[in-house]
Structure 1
Amino acid sequence: SHTSTESVSSGNVCFVLSSPLTSASPAASWLKYHPPGIFDVGFRVKNIELVIARATTAGAKILKPIEEDLTAGVFCKRAKIAGWGDLSHTLVERMGENSLLRASAKLPLFTLIDHVVLNVESGDLSSAVSWYQKILGFDPQQNFDIQTEKSALRSQVMVHAEGGVQFPINEPASANSQVQEFLSANRGPGIQHMALQTTDIVGVVTDLRSRGLPFLPVPPTYYSELQQRQNYVPADWQAIAASEVLADWQEDTPAAMLLQIFTQPIFAEPTFFFEIIERRFTFVDNKKVQAGGFGAGNFRALFEAIEREQMKRGSLT
């Protein structure tokens, strides 16, 4: 084999990690042009034939036609299409026991992939949005135009009606934007970050910090400003602030908090990083209300946190 591959999982999160053994490896050709990062985002589908037929009709490039395999009682169909830029998308239809949900006495750190964010070149946002609409059936939902005194970005959140997969797409709206810094370092469009959902963000962040994973710092002023709009104080407010986790909520359902934190870039260059996210819920008239989408306050605070790191790197003045 030309590639060494390992897979690791937590809850419904599965990573396939590849490293080239020879120059003939697909991983080697990727790494010739790009720094380490995500080169394939897989989507689980209900009917792979239907998805491939739609994608083909809409002009998608099929990299691998549908293949079938049976492993440990799980019947799988897989195919691969070319995505935006050098990205690819593996499509998986799985029948039988979900092999990712292995019986375990211990609750996993992460339950699922909440969203994956794609950065595209300036001026490409609308064509990337229509590509994912046409080829894979995503719909545009929330959009953000974030601007500070120093830099700006535009973002369109794409959501799939079948299963609610969230796939935000960003483009730079200023020459020194953090999205532009990513595009330059990545040498083209690519996955900026992946958000892993948890049910205990404070516990997970404490655990990961103790293992040496660095997160983006948040200034104490963020929490004093946040407390001014507080009409609700969660029991673990002190712990949230001490963990430097960002918090957002809708005024009418403040207990359904959206909690987020970014890691520092994982590799040597300022490209790919992880986000940890917790979507709390509350009950209104006996109906469960969970934090959905993306809070504008958090979106801006995360943007500003990355700006501060850019200033430290000297890529933003």
Structure 2
Amino acid sequence: MTADREESAMTVQDIAYTELYTDDHAGAVDQFSSALGFLPVAESRDDTSTSTLLRQGDVKIVVTSGDAVAPFVDRHGAGIADIALSCDDVTATYTAALAAGATVAPKRFGVPAMAGFGEVVHSLVPTTATAPDARPAGRRWIALPPDAPGTEGPARLLDHVAICLPGGTLDEYADRYTATLGLTRYSSAYVAVGEQGMDSIVVRSGSGRVIFTLVAPDPAKQPGQLDRFLERNVGPGVQHLAFLVDDIITAVGDYGQRGVEFLTTPASYYDALADRLPAKAGHVDRLRGAQVLADIDEWGYLLQRFTRSPYERNTLFFELIQRQGSRGFGSANIRALYEAVERDRLTTP
């Protein structure tokens, strides 16, 4: 095996699925299916847990509840507990990750796993696990009828995962993902809003299909929304999942009709948008009507909209994202998102 092939065998290729732990199984499945447009495709039950596998486009989400996951839910509330990563060679990737300093996580259903951040783990699975009809290994899945309630939404794939970390730890985690899973640093940004501030580093796989946006509050600034997330989540966690769509304005309308609640954007944002992005001047009214954010990088345009968290602790939320050539993450919109979440925090009881 050549050096290039050895390196490829020991790096991750894709996000096979994310797994949400919850104490309200029916409510979470209903939220994903009726509001977010995921189709329930299979169910697994054992003595300690119940899991439902849902799919939309190439995105797979597993909702799990029961005694096995109760300690996680008690500490953190409903949230993503596993970001499963596919590899060309699971054994080689796992062995290399441990040799580079990764921490072993307890296996569930016989699947090797490594610690990620907080209590979130990364199960390592073969690339065949990303096939449309593939189901997470080690569980007794029973197919749900094709006429199960729900219609599929417009999301095509999981664009990226945003991870909230304690202040001052971004470099540590970015270096850890670089060393253990072969991700590389892609970009970084700093946002200051009043007396608050946040840092971000984006790490991604060579395939471009595993992208983590690492965010953390600036410990030298006043506490803000990221500090509140860390308090409510009792440590690091997944802040949001970003779903790629082809037509975000149509998608926002679709999700809105399904009952999804979005964060709002101030009118001043759109008043300045035509000057900031002259090529989008003729589209400002449509973007304003759908409350969609727009940004540009050297490759093209990026359109985004963020939901409110549907969960009791107001932690995990979701993003819709449309890329018109852009490969970035909306550096100008990081500020708009921060301000929108901050307004929501200050106005929500």
Q: TM-score normalised to the size of structure 1?
A: 0.83
**Aligned match of 2:28:** none
Using the TM superposition, give the Cα deviation of residue 64 of structure 1 relative to its aligned residue in structure 2, in angstroms: 5.4
Using the TM superposition, give the Cα deviation of residue 107 of structure 1 relative to its aligned residue in structure 2, in angstroms: 7.8
Aligned residues: 287
**Aligned match of 1:148:** 193
- Cα RMSD (Å) of the superposition? 2.5
**Aligned match of 1:18:** 64
**Aligned match of 2:289:** 242
- Corresponding residue to 1:9 among 55, 59, 66: 55
Using the TM superposition, give the Cα deviation of residue 221 of structure 1 relative to its aligned residue in structure 2, in angstroms: 1.3
**Quick check: 1:162 aligned with 2:207?**
yes
Distance 1:308 1:55, change over 3 A: same
Distance 1:96 1:44, change over 3 A: closer
Q: Could you tell me the percent identity over the aligned residues?
A: 29
Distance 1:18 1:234, change over 3 A: farther
**Aligned match of 1:75:** none
**In 2, Cα distance between equivalents of 1:241 and 1:65:** 47
- Corresponding residue to 1:257 among 301, 305, 311: 301
* Residues 274, 281 of structure 2: 8 Å contact kept: no
Distance 1:97 1:166, change over 3 A: closer
Using the TM superposition, give the Cα deviation of residue 36 of structure 1 relative to its aligned residue in structure 2, in angstroms: 0.8
Using the TM superposition, give the Cα deviation of residue 211 of structure 1 relative to its aligned residue in structure 2, in angstroms: 1.4
* Residues 181, 270 of structure 1: 8 Å contact kept: no
**Quick check: 1:266 aligned with 2:310?**
yes
Identify the structure with the greater helix proportion: 2
**In 2, Cα distance between equivalents of 1:66 and 1:120:** 25
**Aligned match of 1:57:** 99
**In 1, Cα distance between equivalents of 2:348 and 2:129:** 49
Partner of 2:55: helix, strand, or coil?
A: strand
| Amino acid paired to 1:303 | Y
| Counterparts of residues 123-202 of structure 1 (less than 5 Å) | 123-173=168-218, 174-202=221-249
Using the TM superposition, give the Cα deviation of residue 207 of structure 1 relative to its aligned residue in structure 2, in angstroms: 0.9
Partner of 1:141: helix, strand, or coil?
A: strand
**Quick check: 1:47 aligned with 2:89?**
yes
| Counterparts of residues 87-126 of structure 1 (less than 5 Å) | 87-95=120-128, 98-100=131-133, 109-126=154-171
Q: TM-score normalised to the size of structure 2?
A: 0.76
* Residues 273, 284 of structure 2: 8 Å contact kept: no
Task: Give deviations 1:78-128, integer Å, cap 9, x for gaps.
Answer: 532221111101122133992259xxxx98511111110111112222211
**In 2, Cα distance between equivalents of 1:10 and 1:273:** 17
**In 1, Cα distance between equivalents of 2:240 and 2:109:** 29
Task: Give deviations 1:183-242, integer Å, cap 9, x for gaps.
Answer: 000011111111011111111110111111100001111111001223213765432220
**In 1, Cα distance between equivalents of 2:265 and 2:123:** 36
Partner of 1:242: helix, strand, or coil?
A: helix
Partner of 2:279: helix, strand, or coil?
A: coil
| Amino acid paired to 1:134 | A
Unaligned runs of 5+ in 1: 69-77, 281-289
**Quick check: 1:205 aligned with 2:252?**
yes
**In 1, Cα distance between equivalents of 2:48 and 2:129:** 31
